[in-house]
Amino acid sequence: MKLIIATIKPFKLEEVREALTGIGVRGMMVSEIKGFGAQSGHTEIYRGAEYAVNFVPKVKLEIVVQDSMAEQVVTTIAATAKTDKIGDGKIFTLDVEGAMRVRTGELNDDAI
């Protein structure tokens, strides 16, 4: 099993969710986060005062899939979330040692 962690722009969330559902992903966890990378924030004017926004809003997706689906999931996220502008996000893939569905006690592949 693989854990895929992706950070994307918030307005791309629904489009990415639909694309992943279309390839058979049955679940994901979504968190609203803030961060910075090459984009490294920006300045905004609020009520006449200029201030620095050092952290940019992002959405973090966490998806556990069978090894055989991992590459397709990564490719789908990358293609769907891409805007060709700085700050499109990152995708990480990690090995998962085990999983359990709490309600039924199913383990590993059966749990996802």
| Nearest CA among 4, 40, 41, 9 for reference residue 23 | 4
pTM: 0.85
Q: What is the DSSP letter of 38?
A: T
- Chain segment 54-101, per-residue pLDDT in tens: 778 899 999 999 999 999 999 999 999 999 988 899 999 999 999 999
Please give the backbone phi and psi of residue 7, each rounded to the nearest 5 degrees, phi first: -110, 130
DSSP 10: G
Q: Sorting pLDDT into bands at 50, 70 and 90, what band is 43?
A: low
Instruction: Please report, for residues 16, 33, 58, the alpha-carbon distance to residue 61 in angstroms, rounded to integers and kept in the order given.
Output: 10, 10, 10
Distance CA 5, CA 12 (A): 15
